[in-house]
């Protein structure tokens, strides 16, 4: 048991966390990053298609911002979107100079591809492994700068004293030892909560840790009803197939071989925004024009050369996971849970309403994505707001509080863990509860929603929470006890799920990813505001927050 101290503690070592770490260190802070997996195992890897920015001289950040605002169905905060898009170009160029091997055009300058919901091609990419390429280069920079990383350490709770966040209680997974890390500022960068759904494109580590930890510590959540279903997830495993495929010209076809997007988005076709495409696919499937619950992504006409250069990983995935070679056959896909627009409410510097606590990346809700995130804006979000929160946290730490939390927190933490391990086994299993949760969410809080289903989902989730309160941990050891970690993670997930259900019931209109069959239109008069969730011992307390509109008044949204 030990107490460590740093100026800035970053929880999570994906792109947002690493970017925050680099920027906090550059601003003069003593920084440490803690992550439950090695940094390059983070889920930022999974972003395939690219990162958006107005880099070309004939593109403008304002155009990018407008596309983002429209994509968000006007729920995005326009001051934050202006920050995101105006800083995008500089950040993408900086990534290039760090070493990212971005695709080039014939002049050797950065070359882009088209992505959904945008008027022009401004997605910069490395084949279909952009997230991986960025993540590994960011890790290179981390090595270069010698940042302190607590690798394979797991946070069990945040420490709040006198209304300020002052650190975290942690388990070193390898030894099972508990420690306290004190910090003058804490940045939450733990990614999303995708595993709340089953299936999901998200990695098994995406269990909403940061959202739940911050919620329990008293920071409000925002836009939790906004869950993105990606239009092209693979049949069966739910593995992601990049939007870049459609950006590069792939078609969506139904069982009859028709390009059905003609009916739903005649202008943008397959490149309409994700919520629109996912609903169109689900409609085709529901009306009997799918096969086995799927429609198809057809890349046969793209040719071997393009596929080899830009979509090699997708080809590999198709062959490995469904035995389909995309060069020769259309691949079966369906909409699948992919991203949560909601998260910890922050301002444009990553500051949450809880003093000393910051958040960046998918964990956070600035809100730049509003009701629907544009493809390739998520990597951008991690970089821009990771950097900004790192900078601000470092500045804050320069005149931060002097008293640091002591070892008591670890002693208390250990008691809780001991109690959990001592809990008798009752025949139920963490995995069973998790699977039930995933199915409930996938069936009842999905692309098309209605009040009855949502309420039933909420009841189910609350019943699962009851089961959770009595389920035990099978493995009793200290070293690499993943069984214990899964138990703690399930607690995080159930809290996230409850907030998603409650917020979805609350919003009685259709906006972006939140489509209510019982309220099928957007209702700006009553619902052009954010829904927030705050912790109370009895469950989340709903509230509202205004949407910031700077220059783009809400209009009808058509693609």
Residue 329 vs 506, nearer CB to other proteins:
329
Of residues 86, 103, 534, 539, which one binds other proteins by CB under 8 A? 103
Tell me the sheet residues that pair with 519. Answer: 516
Rounded distance between C-alpha atoms, residue 174 and residue 422, angstroms? 21
Residue 177 sits in the site that holds other proteins (CB under 8 A): no
Q: 65: part of which helix (H) or strand (E)? A: helix 61-71
Token pair in block for residue 464 = 């699962």
C-alpha–C-alpha distance, residues 131 and 46, integer Å: 6
Interaction of residue 96 with other proteins, rule CB under 8 A: yes
Query: Which residue among 63, 79, 140, 451 contacts other proteins (CB under 8 A)?
Result: 140
CB of 259 to other proteins, least distance (A): 27
Please report whether residue 97 would count as binding other proteins according to CB under 8 A: yes
Number of residues that bind other proteins (CB under 8 A): 66
Give the contacts of 161 (CB within 8 A, at least 6 positions apart).
Answer: 403, 405
The window from 78-86, 232-240, 264-272, 495-503 that contacts other proteins (CB under 8 A) reads: 232-240
Question: Which of 2, 38, 411, 452 contacts other proteins by CB under 8 A?
Answer: 38
> Is the CB of residue 502 less than 8 Å from the CB of residue 216?
no
16 lies in the site for other proteins, by CB under 8 A: no
Do the Cβ atoms of 478 and 462 come closer than 8 Å?
no
Task: Provide the token pair at 338.
Answer: 């992919």
* CB 47 to other proteins: min, Å: 10
Q: How far is the CB of 239 from other proteins (least distance, A)?
A: 5
Q: How far is the CB of 26 from other proteins (least distance, A)?
A: 15
CB of 181 to other proteins, least distance (A): 20
Q: Say whether 165 sits in a helix, a strand or coil.
A: strand
Told to check if 144 binds other proteins by CB under 8 A, we report yes
Check: CB of residue 113 under 8 Å from CB of residue 50.
yes
Rule CB under 8 A: is residue 527 a binding residue for other proteins?
no
Q: Which tokens is 273 given?
A: 């925004």
Q: Is residue 106 at the binding interface for other proteins, with CB under 8 A as the rule?
A: yes
Binding residue for other proteins, selected from 15, 20, 29, 46, defined by CB under 8 A = 46
Rounded distance, CA 503 to CA 367, Å?
16
- Widest CA span of the chain, in angstroms? 68
- Of positions 53, 196, 440, 473, contacts other proteins by CB under 8 A: 473
Under the binding rule (CB under 8 A), the answer on residue 111 touching other proteins is yes
Torsion angle, alpha carbons of 240, 43, 375, 95, to 10: -130
Residue 537, Cβ neighbours under 10 Å: how many?
4
Report phi then psi at 241, rounded to 5.
-115, 120
> Of 59-67, 245-253, 290-298, 470-478, which segment contacts other proteins by CB under 8 A?
470-478
x/- track of binding to other proteins for residues 430-449 (CB under 8 A): xxx-----------------
Task: Choose the stretch contacting other proteins; rule: CB under 8 A; options: 18-26, 76-84, 127-135, 252-260.
Answer: 127-135
478 lies in the site for other proteins, by CB under 8 A: yes
Residues marked active site are found at 230, 246
Let me know: does 224 contact 499? Beta carbons within 8 Å: yes
Query: Does 143 sit near other proteins (CB under 8 A)?
Result: yes
Whether residue 367 has a cis bond before it, omega within 30° of 0: yes
Neighbours of 523 (CB within 10 A): 14
By CB under 8 A, the residues from 235 to 254 that bind other proteins are 236-237, 239-240
Interaction of residue 528 with other proteins, rule CB under 8 A: no
Site for other proteins in 307-346 (CB under 8 A): 309, 312-313, 316-317, 320-321
71's CB contacts (< 8 A; 6+ apart) are 117, 118, 273, 369, 370, 372, 373, 374, 377, 512
Site residues (vs other proteins, CB under 8 A): 37-38, 40-43, 45-46, 57, 93, 96-99, 101-111, 126-127, 129, 132-133, 136-137, 140-141, 143-144, 174, 203-205, 236-237, 239-240, 309, 312-313, 316-317, 320-321, 429-432, 473-483
């Amino acid at each position: 048991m030990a107490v460590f101290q740093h100026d800035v503690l970053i929880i999570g070592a994906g792109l947002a966390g690493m970017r925050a770490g680099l920027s906090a260190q550059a601003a003069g802070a003593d920084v440490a990053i803690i992550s439950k997996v090695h940094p390059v195992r983070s889920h930022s890897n999974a972003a395939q298609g690219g990162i958006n920015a107005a880099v070309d001289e004939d593109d403008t950040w304002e155009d990018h911002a407008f596309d983002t605002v429209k994509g968000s169905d006007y729920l995005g905060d326009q001051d934050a979107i202006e920050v995101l898009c105006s800083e995008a170009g500089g950040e993408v160029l900086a990534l290039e100079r760090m070493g990212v091997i971005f695709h080039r055009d014939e002049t050797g300058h950065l070359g882009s591809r088209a992505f959904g919901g945008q008027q022009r091609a401004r997605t910069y990419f490395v084949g279909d492994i952009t997230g991986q390429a960025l993540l590994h280069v960011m890790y290179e920079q981390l090595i270069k700068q010698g940042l302190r990383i607590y690798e394979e350490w797991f946070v069990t709770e945040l420490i709040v004293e006198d209304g300020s966040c002052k650190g975290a209680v942690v388990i070193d997974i390898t030894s099972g030892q508990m420690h306290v890390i004190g910090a003058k500022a804490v940045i939450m960068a733990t990614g999303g909560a995708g595993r709340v759904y089953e299936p999901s494109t998200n990695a098994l580590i995406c269990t909403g840790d940061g959202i739940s930890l911050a919620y329990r510590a008293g920071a409000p959540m925002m836009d939790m009803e906004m869950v993105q279903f990606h239009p092209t997830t693979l049949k069966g495993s739910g593995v992601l197939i990049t939007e870049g495929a459609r950006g590069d010209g792939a078609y969506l076809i139904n069982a009859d071989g028709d390009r059905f997007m003609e009916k739903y988005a005649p202008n943008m076709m397959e490149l309409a925004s994700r919520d629109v495409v996912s609903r169109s696919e689900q409609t085709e499937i529901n009306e009997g024009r799918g096969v086995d619950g799927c429609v198809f992504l057809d890349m046969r006409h793209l040719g071997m050369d393009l596929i080899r250069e830009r979509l090699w990983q997708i080809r590999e995935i198709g062959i490995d996971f469904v035995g389909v070679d995309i060069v020769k056959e259309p691949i079966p896909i369906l909409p699948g849970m992919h991203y949560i627009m909601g998260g910890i409410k922050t301002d444009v510097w990553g500051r949450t309403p809880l003093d000393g606590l910051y958040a960046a990346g998918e964990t956070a809700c600035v809100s730049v994505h509003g009701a629907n995130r544009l493809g390739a804006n998520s990597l951008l979000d991690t970089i821009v707001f990771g950097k900004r929160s790192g900078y601000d946290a470092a500045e804050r730490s320069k005149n931060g509080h002097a008293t640091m939390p002591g070892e008591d927190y670890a002693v208390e933490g250990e008691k809780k863990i001991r109690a959990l391990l001592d809990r008798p086994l009752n025949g139920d299993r963490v995995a069973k509860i998790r699977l039930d949760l995933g199915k409930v969410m996938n069936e009842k809080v999905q692309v098309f929603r209605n009040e009855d289903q949502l309420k039933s989902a909420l009841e189910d989730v609350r019943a699962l929470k009851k089961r959770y309160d009595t389920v035990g941990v099978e493995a009793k050891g200290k070293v690499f006890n993943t069984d214990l970690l899964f138990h703690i993670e399930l607690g995080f997930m159930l809290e996230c799920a409850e907030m998603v259900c409650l917020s979805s019931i609350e919003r009685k209109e259709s906006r972006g990813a939140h489509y209510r069959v019982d309220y099928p239109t957007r209702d700006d008069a009553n619902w052009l505001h954010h829904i927030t969730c705050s912790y109370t011992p009895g469950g989340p307390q709903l509230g509202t927050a205004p949407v910031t509109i700077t220059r783009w008044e809400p209009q009808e949204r058509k693609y």
